[in-house]
Amino acid sequence: MEALLRRILQLYVKSFSGLPRRVWLLSLVMLVNRSGAMVVAFLSVYLIDQRGYAPADAGYVMAAFGAGGILGNYCGGLLNDRFGSWHIQLFSMIGAGILNIILGQMTEFWSLCLLAFLISLWADAFRPANRAALAIYAPAERLTQAYGLQRMAVNLGFSIGPALGGYLIYTYGFELMFWADGLTFLLAALVFFLALPADETAKPLVERPSRKQRSMANVLDAPTLAPASAPAHQQLWLLAFVVANMGIILLFFQLFSTFPVYLKETGFDERAIGWLFTISGVLIVTTEMPILYAAERRYRPIPTMLFGAALIITAYLTLPWVITIGYLPLVLMILLLTMGEILYMPFTNTYVARYAPPARRGEYLGLLSASYSAAFVLGPLLGFGVAGHYGYGIATLTCCAVAMVGWALLSRINLLREASAVPAGPNGPKLLEE
Protein backbone atom coordinates (compact mmCIF):
# COMPACT_ATOMS: atom_id res chain seq x y z
CA MET A 1 0.00 0.00 0.00
CA GLU A 2 2.82 2.38 0.87
CA ALA A 3 4.50 1.71 -2.49
CA LEU A 4 1.23 2.36 -4.32
CA LEU A 5 0.72 5.66 -2.51
CA ARG A 6 4.30 6.65 -3.33
CA ARG A 7 3.73 5.90 -7.02
CA ILE A 8 0.51 7.94 -7.04
CA LEU A 9 2.29 10.85 -5.36
CA GLN A 10 5.12 10.68 -7.90
CA LEU A 11 2.58 10.70 -10.72
CA TYR A 12 0.99 13.84 -9.29
CA VAL A 13 4.38 15.55 -8.99
CA LYS A 14 5.35 14.63 -12.55
CA SER A 15 2.00 15.74 -13.98
CA PHE A 16 2.44 19.25 -12.56
CA SER A 17 6.20 19.63 -13.13
CA GLY A 18 7.96 21.26 -16.04
CA LEU A 19 5.34 23.88 -16.88
CA PRO A 20 6.58 27.47 -17.30
CA ARG A 21 5.64 30.15 -14.77
CA ARG A 22 3.48 32.03 -17.28
CA VAL A 23 1.33 28.94 -17.87
CA TRP A 24 0.62 28.89 -14.12
CA LEU A 25 -0.17 32.61 -14.08
CA LEU A 26 -2.56 32.24 -17.02
CA SER A 27 -4.26 29.43 -15.13
CA LEU A 28 -4.58 31.72 -12.08
CA VAL A 29 -6.43 34.22 -14.30
CA MET A 30 -8.83 31.48 -15.40
CA LEU A 31 -9.37 30.39 -11.80
CA VAL A 32 -10.40 33.90 -10.80
CA ASN A 33 -12.59 34.25 -13.89
CA ARG A 34 -14.49 30.98 -13.54
CA SER A 35 -15.00 31.32 -9.78
CA GLY A 36 -17.91 33.57 -10.73
CA ALA A 37 -19.33 31.19 -13.35
CA MET A 38 -23.02 31.31 -12.48
CA VAL A 39 -24.93 32.75 -15.42
CA VAL A 40 -24.16 29.90 -17.82
CA ALA A 41 -25.22 27.27 -15.26
CA PHE A 42 -28.50 28.91 -14.22
CA LEU A 43 -29.56 31.08 -17.17
CA SER A 44 -32.12 28.57 -18.48
CA VAL A 45 -33.59 28.14 -14.97
CA TYR A 46 -33.69 31.95 -14.56
CA LEU A 47 -35.51 32.44 -17.87
CA ILE A 48 -38.15 29.77 -17.17
CA ASP A 49 -38.70 30.15 -13.41
CA GLN A 50 -38.00 33.84 -12.84
CA ARG A 51 -39.04 35.42 -16.14
CA GLY A 52 -41.77 32.94 -17.03
CA TYR A 53 -40.55 32.10 -20.52
CA ALA A 54 -41.54 28.86 -22.19
CA PRO A 55 -38.75 26.26 -22.57
CA ALA A 56 -38.62 26.93 -26.33
CA ASP A 57 -38.08 30.67 -25.74
CA ALA A 58 -35.38 29.89 -23.18
CA GLY A 59 -33.80 27.72 -25.86
CA TYR A 60 -33.71 30.68 -28.26
CA VAL A 61 -31.95 32.87 -25.68
CA MET A 62 -29.41 30.12 -25.03
CA ALA A 63 -29.02 29.69 -28.79
CA ALA A 64 -28.28 33.43 -29.10
CA PHE A 65 -25.63 32.91 -26.44
CA GLY A 66 -24.09 30.17 -28.57
CA ALA A 67 -24.40 32.13 -31.82
CA GLY A 68 -22.35 34.96 -30.36
CA GLY A 69 -19.78 32.38 -29.35
CA ILE A 70 -19.44 31.06 -32.90
CA LEU A 71 -18.63 34.52 -34.20
CA GLY A 72 -16.53 35.41 -31.16
CA ASN A 73 -14.39 32.29 -31.39
CA TYR A 74 -13.69 32.57 -35.08
CA CYS A 75 -13.09 36.32 -35.05
CA GLY A 76 -11.00 35.94 -31.90
CA GLY A 77 -8.79 33.44 -33.73
CA LEU A 78 -8.35 35.71 -36.74
CA LEU A 79 -7.64 38.78 -34.60
CA ASN A 80 -5.20 36.76 -32.51
CA ASP A 81 -3.07 35.95 -35.54
CA ARG A 82 -3.05 39.60 -36.62
CA PHE A 83 -2.65 41.43 -33.31
CA GLY A 84 -1.47 38.88 -30.75
CA SER A 85 -3.37 37.10 -28.03
CA TRP A 86 -2.58 39.44 -25.10
CA HIS A 87 -4.87 42.28 -26.24
CA ILE A 88 -7.67 39.91 -27.22
CA GLN A 89 -7.67 38.22 -23.81
CA LEU A 90 -7.65 41.49 -21.84
CA PHE A 91 -10.40 43.30 -23.71
CA SER A 92 -12.51 40.15 -23.95
CA MET A 93 -12.70 39.84 -20.17
CA ILE A 94 -13.42 43.53 -19.65
CA GLY A 95 -16.25 43.58 -22.21
CA ALA A 96 -17.81 40.34 -20.97
CA GLY A 97 -17.77 41.55 -17.37
CA ILE A 98 -19.64 44.76 -18.16
CA LEU A 99 -22.18 42.98 -20.37
CA ASN A 100 -22.94 40.31 -17.74
CA ILE A 101 -23.93 43.01 -15.28
CA ILE A 102 -26.17 44.67 -17.88
CA LEU A 103 -27.83 41.31 -18.70
CA GLY A 104 -29.27 41.13 -15.19
CA GLN A 105 -31.19 44.35 -15.83
CA MET A 106 -32.88 43.12 -19.02
CA THR A 107 -36.40 41.67 -19.01
CA GLU A 108 -37.69 41.89 -22.61
CA PHE A 109 -37.16 38.81 -24.80
CA TRP A 110 -35.25 40.42 -27.67
CA SER A 111 -33.01 42.44 -25.35
CA LEU A 112 -32.14 39.21 -23.52
CA CYS A 113 -31.29 37.55 -26.84
CA LEU A 114 -29.13 40.53 -27.87
CA LEU A 115 -27.25 40.68 -24.57
CA ALA A 116 -26.72 36.92 -24.53
CA PHE A 117 -25.29 37.18 -28.06
CA LEU A 118 -22.97 40.07 -27.17
CA ILE A 119 -21.73 38.45 -23.95
CA SER A 120 -20.61 35.30 -25.72
CA LEU A 121 -19.24 37.33 -28.66
CA TRP A 122 -16.89 39.12 -26.26
CA ALA A 123 -16.24 36.27 -23.83
CA ASP A 124 -15.55 33.56 -26.41
CA ALA A 125 -13.04 35.67 -28.34
CA PHE A 126 -10.88 34.88 -25.31
CA ARG A 127 -10.72 31.13 -26.00
CA PRO A 128 -8.62 30.85 -29.18
CA ALA A 129 -6.34 33.66 -28.00
CA ASN A 130 -5.83 31.90 -24.69
CA ARG A 131 -5.08 28.56 -26.35
CA ALA A 132 -2.68 30.18 -28.80
CA ALA A 133 -0.87 31.87 -25.90
CA LEU A 134 -0.51 28.52 -24.13
CA ALA A 135 0.96 27.04 -27.33
CA ILE A 136 3.61 29.78 -27.16
CA TYR A 137 4.30 29.52 -23.44
CA ALA A 138 4.42 25.71 -23.12
CA PRO A 139 7.00 23.36 -24.68
CA ALA A 140 5.50 21.19 -27.40
CA GLU A 141 5.94 18.01 -25.36
CA ARG A 142 3.98 19.54 -22.47
CA LEU A 143 1.18 21.16 -24.43
CA THR A 144 -1.51 18.73 -23.28
CA GLN A 145 -0.31 19.27 -19.71
CA ALA A 146 -0.66 23.02 -20.17
CA TYR A 147 -4.18 22.66 -21.54
CA GLY A 148 -4.96 20.26 -18.71
CA LEU A 149 -3.74 22.75 -16.09
CA GLN A 150 -5.85 25.44 -17.70
CA ARG A 151 -8.90 23.20 -17.61
CA MET A 152 -8.15 22.32 -14.00
CA ALA A 153 -8.17 26.01 -13.12
CA VAL A 154 -11.42 26.50 -15.06
CA ASN A 155 -13.07 23.59 -13.32
CA LEU A 156 -11.77 24.53 -9.88
CA GLY A 157 -13.40 27.90 -10.44
CA PHE A 158 -16.48 26.20 -11.83
CA SER A 159 -16.71 24.03 -8.72
CA ILE A 160 -16.98 27.27 -6.73
CA GLY A 161 -19.16 29.36 -9.06
CA PRO A 162 -22.32 27.24 -9.47
CA ALA A 163 -22.39 26.23 -5.80
CA LEU A 164 -22.05 29.88 -4.77
CA GLY A 165 -24.58 30.84 -7.45
CA GLY A 166 -27.06 28.25 -6.21
CA TYR A 167 -26.72 29.60 -2.67
CA LEU A 168 -27.13 33.24 -3.77
CA ILE A 169 -30.18 32.40 -5.88
CA TYR A 170 -31.81 30.29 -3.18
CA THR A 171 -31.19 32.94 -0.50
CA TYR A 172 -31.35 36.31 -2.27
CA GLY A 173 -32.77 35.72 -5.75
CA PHE A 174 -31.23 35.87 -9.21
CA GLU A 175 -30.00 39.49 -9.47
CA LEU A 176 -26.81 38.99 -7.47
CA MET A 177 -25.83 36.19 -9.86
CA PHE A 178 -25.26 38.63 -12.72
CA TRP A 179 -23.26 41.06 -10.58
CA ALA A 180 -21.04 38.29 -9.20
CA ASP A 181 -20.33 36.88 -12.66
CA GLY A 182 -19.60 40.30 -14.16
CA LEU A 183 -17.32 41.45 -11.34
CA THR A 184 -15.24 38.28 -11.46
CA PHE A 185 -14.64 38.87 -15.19
CA LEU A 186 -13.36 42.34 -14.36
CA LEU A 187 -11.25 41.06 -11.47
CA ALA A 188 -9.72 38.41 -13.76
CA ALA A 189 -8.86 41.14 -16.28
CA LEU A 190 -7.08 43.08 -13.53
CA VAL A 191 -5.12 40.00 -12.40
CA PHE A 192 -4.18 39.29 -16.03
CA PHE A 193 -2.99 42.89 -16.59
CA LEU A 194 -0.84 42.86 -13.43
CA ALA A 195 0.49 39.29 -13.50
CA LEU A 196 1.10 38.96 -17.25
CA PRO A 197 2.18 42.32 -18.71
CA ALA A 198 2.40 42.55 -22.49
CA ASP A 199 5.04 40.15 -23.86
CA GLU A 200 5.58 38.25 -27.11
CA THR A 201 1.91 37.25 -27.09
CA ALA A 202 1.06 40.94 -27.64
CA LYS A 203 2.52 40.60 -31.14
CA PRO A 204 1.18 38.72 -34.19
CA LEU A 205 2.03 35.02 -34.24
CA VAL A 206 4.09 35.50 -37.41
CA GLU A 207 5.24 38.91 -38.61
CA ARG A 208 3.79 39.70 -42.01
CA PRO A 209 6.47 40.66 -44.58
CA SER A 210 6.49 44.18 -45.91
CA ARG A 211 6.07 44.93 -49.62
CA LYS A 212 9.81 45.53 -49.89
CA GLN A 213 10.59 42.16 -48.25
CA ARG A 214 8.24 40.36 -50.65
CA SER A 215 9.85 42.10 -53.60
CA MET A 216 13.36 41.17 -52.47
CA ALA A 217 12.28 37.59 -51.89
CA ASN A 218 10.98 37.39 -55.46
CA VAL A 219 14.13 38.94 -56.93
CA LEU A 220 16.54 36.79 -54.99
CA ASP A 221 14.37 33.67 -55.19
CA ALA A 222 15.28 33.08 -51.57
CA PRO A 223 13.09 31.03 -49.24
CA THR A 224 13.07 33.74 -46.56
CA LEU A 225 9.30 33.87 -46.15
CA ALA A 226 7.19 31.25 -44.42
CA PRO A 227 5.51 28.82 -46.86
CA ALA A 228 1.86 29.46 -47.53
CA SER A 229 -0.55 27.29 -45.60
CA ALA A 230 -4.17 26.42 -46.24
CA PRO A 231 -6.84 28.45 -44.44
CA ALA A 232 -8.69 26.53 -41.76
CA HIS A 233 -11.94 26.34 -43.72
CA GLN A 234 -10.16 24.62 -46.64
CA GLN A 235 -8.90 21.69 -44.57
CA LEU A 236 -11.27 18.72 -44.94
CA TRP A 237 -9.88 16.91 -41.88
CA LEU A 238 -10.37 20.00 -39.72
CA LEU A 239 -13.91 20.57 -40.96
CA ALA A 240 -14.76 16.93 -40.25
CA PHE A 241 -13.17 17.22 -36.80
CA VAL A 242 -15.20 20.36 -36.11
CA VAL A 243 -18.48 18.64 -37.11
CA ALA A 244 -17.66 15.56 -35.02
CA ASN A 245 -16.76 17.71 -32.03
CA MET A 246 -19.94 19.73 -32.44
CA GLY A 247 -22.09 16.59 -32.30
CA ILE A 248 -20.40 15.27 -29.16
CA ILE A 249 -20.31 18.63 -27.38
CA LEU A 250 -23.96 19.29 -28.31
CA LEU A 251 -24.76 16.40 -25.99
CA PHE A 252 -22.30 17.46 -23.29
CA PHE A 253 -23.66 21.02 -23.23
CA GLN A 254 -27.10 19.78 -22.23
CA LEU A 255 -25.45 20.13 -18.82
CA PHE A 256 -25.99 23.91 -19.13
CA SER A 257 -29.42 23.96 -20.78
CA THR A 258 -31.91 21.10 -20.40
CA PHE A 259 -30.10 19.26 -17.58
CA PRO A 260 -30.72 21.79 -14.75
CA VAL A 261 -34.33 22.35 -15.91
CA TYR A 262 -34.85 18.56 -16.10
CA LEU A 263 -33.62 18.25 -12.52
CA LYS A 264 -35.69 21.21 -11.34
CA GLU A 265 -38.81 19.70 -12.95
CA THR A 266 -38.12 16.42 -11.17
CA GLY A 267 -37.97 18.13 -7.76
CA PHE A 268 -34.33 19.05 -7.14
CA ASP A 269 -33.63 22.64 -6.00
CA GLU A 270 -30.85 25.04 -7.06
CA ARG A 271 -28.58 24.01 -4.19
CA ALA A 272 -28.70 20.35 -5.21
CA ILE A 273 -28.04 21.27 -8.85
CA GLY A 274 -25.15 23.54 -7.88
CA TRP A 275 -23.54 20.75 -5.84
CA LEU A 276 -23.55 18.44 -8.87
CA PHE A 277 -21.49 21.01 -10.76
CA THR A 278 -19.21 21.30 -7.74
CA ILE A 279 -18.69 17.52 -7.55
CA SER A 280 -17.74 17.51 -11.23
CA GLY A 281 -15.29 20.34 -10.72
CA VAL A 282 -13.67 18.70 -7.70
CA LEU A 283 -13.16 15.43 -9.61
CA ILE A 284 -11.48 17.30 -12.46
CA VAL A 285 -9.25 19.26 -10.10
CA THR A 286 -8.11 16.15 -8.20
CA THR A 287 -7.62 13.71 -11.09
CA GLU A 288 -7.34 15.39 -14.49
CA MET A 289 -3.64 16.31 -14.50
CA PRO A 290 -2.29 12.85 -13.54
CA ILE A 291 -4.79 11.17 -15.87
CA LEU A 292 -3.69 13.38 -18.78
CA TYR A 293 -0.02 12.87 -17.94
CA ALA A 294 -0.43 9.09 -18.06
CA ALA A 295 -2.77 9.02 -21.06
CA GLU A 296 -0.66 11.33 -23.23
CA ARG A 297 2.39 9.08 -22.82
CA ARG A 298 0.61 5.80 -23.42
CA TYR A 299 -2.20 6.43 -25.90
CA ARG A 300 -2.75 8.36 -29.11
CA PRO A 301 -5.12 11.35 -29.06
CA ILE A 302 -7.94 10.04 -31.27
CA PRO A 303 -8.46 6.69 -29.44
CA THR A 304 -8.38 8.57 -26.12
CA MET A 305 -10.98 11.05 -27.37
CA LEU A 306 -13.15 8.21 -28.67
CA PHE A 307 -13.13 6.54 -25.26
CA GLY A 308 -13.90 9.82 -23.49
CA ALA A 309 -16.77 10.58 -25.87
CA ALA A 310 -18.17 7.09 -25.30
CA LEU A 311 -18.25 7.76 -21.55
CA ILE A 312 -20.10 11.06 -22.13
CA ILE A 313 -22.71 9.31 -24.29
CA THR A 314 -23.10 6.47 -21.79
CA ALA A 315 -23.62 8.89 -18.90
CA TYR A 316 -26.44 10.70 -20.69
CA LEU A 317 -28.04 7.45 -21.82
CA THR A 318 -28.49 6.57 -18.14
CA LEU A 319 -29.91 9.98 -17.14
CA PRO A 320 -33.64 9.32 -17.80
CA TRP A 321 -33.34 6.24 -15.59
CA VAL A 322 -31.15 7.51 -12.73
CA ILE A 323 -33.09 10.78 -12.32
CA THR A 324 -36.09 8.77 -11.10
CA ILE A 325 -34.11 6.88 -8.45
CA GLY A 326 -32.50 9.60 -6.35
CA TYR A 327 -29.58 11.92 -5.82
CA LEU A 328 -26.79 9.36 -5.36
CA PRO A 329 -27.32 7.78 -8.82
CA LEU A 330 -27.21 11.32 -10.26
CA VAL A 331 -23.86 11.85 -8.56
CA LEU A 332 -22.55 8.63 -10.13
CA MET A 333 -23.85 9.77 -13.53
CA ILE A 334 -22.01 13.09 -13.12
CA LEU A 335 -18.80 11.28 -12.16
CA LEU A 336 -19.01 9.15 -15.33
CA LEU A 337 -19.75 12.23 -17.43
CA THR A 338 -16.81 14.07 -15.90
CA MET A 339 -14.38 11.22 -16.61
CA GLY A 340 -15.48 11.36 -20.23
CA GLU A 341 -14.92 15.11 -20.27
CA ILE A 342 -11.40 14.67 -18.85
CA LEU A 343 -10.41 12.17 -21.53
CA TYR A 344 -12.04 14.03 -24.41
CA MET A 345 -11.81 17.80 -24.20
CA PRO A 346 -8.11 18.54 -23.53
CA PHE A 347 -7.02 16.40 -26.47
CA THR A 348 -9.19 18.32 -28.95
CA ASN A 349 -7.06 21.42 -28.41
CA THR A 350 -3.81 19.47 -28.46
CA TYR A 351 -4.70 17.68 -31.69
CA VAL A 352 -5.57 20.85 -33.60
CA ALA A 353 -2.65 22.87 -32.18
CA ARG A 354 -0.24 20.07 -33.14
CA TYR A 355 -1.30 19.91 -36.79
CA ALA A 356 -2.12 23.58 -37.41
CA PRO A 357 0.41 25.70 -39.35
CA PRO A 358 2.12 28.05 -36.84
CA ALA A 359 1.08 31.17 -38.78
CA ARG A 360 -2.57 30.09 -38.66
CA ARG A 361 -2.72 28.43 -35.24
CA GLY A 362 -5.17 30.98 -33.86
CA GLU A 363 -7.40 30.59 -36.93
CA TYR A 364 -7.45 26.78 -36.65
CA LEU A 365 -8.10 26.88 -32.90
CA GLY A 366 -10.73 29.54 -33.49
CA LEU A 367 -12.60 27.23 -35.84
CA LEU A 368 -12.41 24.46 -33.23
CA SER A 369 -13.70 26.86 -30.56
CA ALA A 370 -16.50 27.91 -32.90
CA SER A 371 -17.67 24.29 -32.97
CA TYR A 372 -18.16 24.45 -29.21
CA SER A 373 -20.25 27.58 -29.63
CA ALA A 374 -22.22 26.03 -32.50
CA ALA A 375 -23.04 23.16 -30.16
CA PHE A 376 -24.19 25.74 -27.62
CA VAL A 377 -26.54 27.13 -30.28
CA LEU A 378 -27.95 23.84 -31.51
CA GLY A 379 -28.01 22.07 -28.14
CA PRO A 380 -30.71 24.23 -26.47
CA LEU A 381 -32.74 24.43 -29.69
CA LEU A 382 -32.74 20.67 -30.11
CA GLY A 383 -33.00 19.82 -26.41
CA PHE A 384 -35.73 22.27 -25.45
CA GLY A 385 -37.51 21.81 -28.81
CA VAL A 386 -37.84 18.05 -28.34
CA ALA A 387 -38.56 18.43 -24.60
CA GLY A 388 -41.46 20.77 -25.32
CA HIS A 389 -43.22 18.03 -27.30
CA TYR A 390 -41.97 14.73 -25.87
CA GLY A 391 -40.34 15.47 -22.51
CA TYR A 392 -36.80 15.82 -21.27
CA GLY A 393 -36.05 12.09 -21.28
CA ILE A 394 -36.66 11.78 -25.03
CA ALA A 395 -34.75 15.05 -25.59
CA THR A 396 -31.71 13.57 -23.82
CA LEU A 397 -31.82 10.38 -25.89
CA THR A 398 -32.17 12.42 -29.11
CA CYS A 399 -29.02 14.36 -28.27
CA CYS A 400 -27.28 11.05 -27.53
CA ALA A 401 -28.10 9.91 -31.08
CA VAL A 402 -26.51 13.07 -32.52
CA ALA A 403 -23.38 12.48 -30.40
CA MET A 404 -23.12 8.91 -31.70
CA VAL A 405 -22.93 10.26 -35.25
CA GLY A 406 -20.17 12.62 -34.11
CA TRP A 407 -18.34 9.69 -32.49
CA ALA A 408 -18.44 7.70 -35.75
CA LEU A 409 -17.04 10.67 -37.71
CA LEU A 410 -14.32 11.26 -35.11
CA SER A 411 -13.06 7.71 -35.68
CA ARG A 412 -12.18 8.68 -39.30
CA ILE A 413 -10.29 11.92 -38.61
CA ASN A 414 -6.76 10.50 -38.74
CA LEU A 415 -7.44 8.95 -42.15
CA LEU A 416 -8.79 12.24 -43.49
CA ARG A 417 -5.84 14.22 -42.15
CA GLU A 418 -3.28 11.81 -43.58
CA ALA A 419 -5.07 11.86 -46.95
CA SER A 420 -4.89 15.68 -47.04
CA ALA A 421 -1.09 15.77 -46.68
CA VAL A 422 1.23 15.97 -49.67
CA PRO A 423 4.70 14.36 -49.84
CA ALA A 424 7.73 16.38 -48.84
CA GLY A 425 9.23 18.46 -51.59
CA PRO A 426 12.94 19.00 -52.29
CA ASN A 427 13.07 22.00 -49.94
CA GLY A 428 11.79 20.50 -46.74
CA PRO A 429 9.15 18.61 -44.83
CA LYS A 430 5.68 17.79 -46.06
CA LEU A 431 3.20 20.66 -46.14
CA LEU A 432 -0.55 20.67 -45.91
CA GLU A 433 -2.37 21.00 -49.20
CA GLU A 434 -3.05 24.51 -50.29
CATH of the domain at 177: 1.20.1250.20
Q: Is 6 inside any structural domain?
A: no
Do residues 266 and 393 lie in contact, with contact meaning Cβ atoms separated by under 8 Å?
Answer: no
As for how many domains the chain has, the answer is: 1
Q: How far is CA 290 from CA 3, 14, 139, in A?
A: 17, 8, 18
Q: Nearest to residue 290, comparing CAs of 54, 86, 15? A: 15
Q: For 53, how many CA atoms within 13 A lie in the half-sphere containing its CB?
A: 23
One pLDDT digit (tens) per residue for the chain, 434 residues: 667 677 767 777 777 777 888 999 988 888 887 776 677 778 888 888 888 888 778 888 888 887 887 788 778 877 877 788 898 899 999 998 999 899 888 888 899 999 989 988 888 888 878 888 888 888 877 777 788 788 778 777 777 777 777 777 778 878 788 888 889 899 999 999 998 888 777 777 555 544 554 444 444 443 444 445 677 777 888 899 999 999 999 999 998 888 988 998 888 887 888 888 888 878 887 888 888 888 877 888 899 999 999 999 999 999 999 988 888 999 999 999 999 999 999 889 888 888 888 777 778 887 887 888 788 778 888 998 999 889 999 999 999 999 999 999 999 998 888 887 644 333 333 433 32
What per-residue confidence (pLDDT) applies to 252? 95
Q: Is 431 inside any structural domain?
A: no
What per-residue confidence (pLDDT) applies to 411? 94
Q: Is 23 inside any structural domain?
A: yes
Q: Is 245 inside any structural domain?
A: yes
Residue 71 CB burial class (10 angstroms; 0-12, 13-18, ≥19): middle
Q: Give this prediction's pTM.
A: 0.71
Distance, in Å, from the CA atom of 273 to the CA atom of 136, rounded to the nearest integer, reads: 38
Q: Is 433 inside any structural domain?
A: no
Residue 327: domain span: 18-200+233-419
Q: Is 207 inside any structural domain?
A: no
Taking only the tens place, the pLDDT of each residue in 164-198 is: 777 777 788 787 888 888 898 999 999 999 988 88
Do residues 309 and 403 lie in contact, with contact meaning Cβ atoms separated by under 8 Å?
Answer: yes
Q: Is 301 inside any structural domain?
A: yes
End-to-end CA distance of the chain: 56
Q: Is 215 inside any structural domain?
A: no
What per-residue confidence (pLDDT) applies to 330? 93
3-state secondary structure the chain: CHHHHHHHHHHHHHHHCCCCHHHHHHHHHHHHHHCCCCHHHHHHHHHHHHCCCCHHHHHHHHHHHHHHHHHHHHHHHHHHHHHCHHHHHHHHHHHHHHHHHHHCCCCCHHHHHHHHHHHHHHHHCHHHHHHHHHHHHCCHHHHHHHHHHHHHHHHHHHHHHHHHHHHHHHHHCCHHHHHHHHHHHHHHHHHHHHHCCCCHHHCCCCCCCCHHHHHHHHHHCCCCCCCCCCCHHHCHHHHHHHHHHHHHHHHHHHHHCHHHHHHHHHCCCHHHHHHHHHHHHHHHHHHHHHHHHHHHHHCCHHHHHHHHHHHHHHHHHHHHHHCCCCHHHHHHHHHHHHHHHHHHHHHHHHHHHHHCCHHHHHHHHHHHHHHHHHHHHHHHHHHHHHHHHHCHHHHHHHHHHHHHHHHHHHCCHHHHHHHCECCCCCCCCCCECC
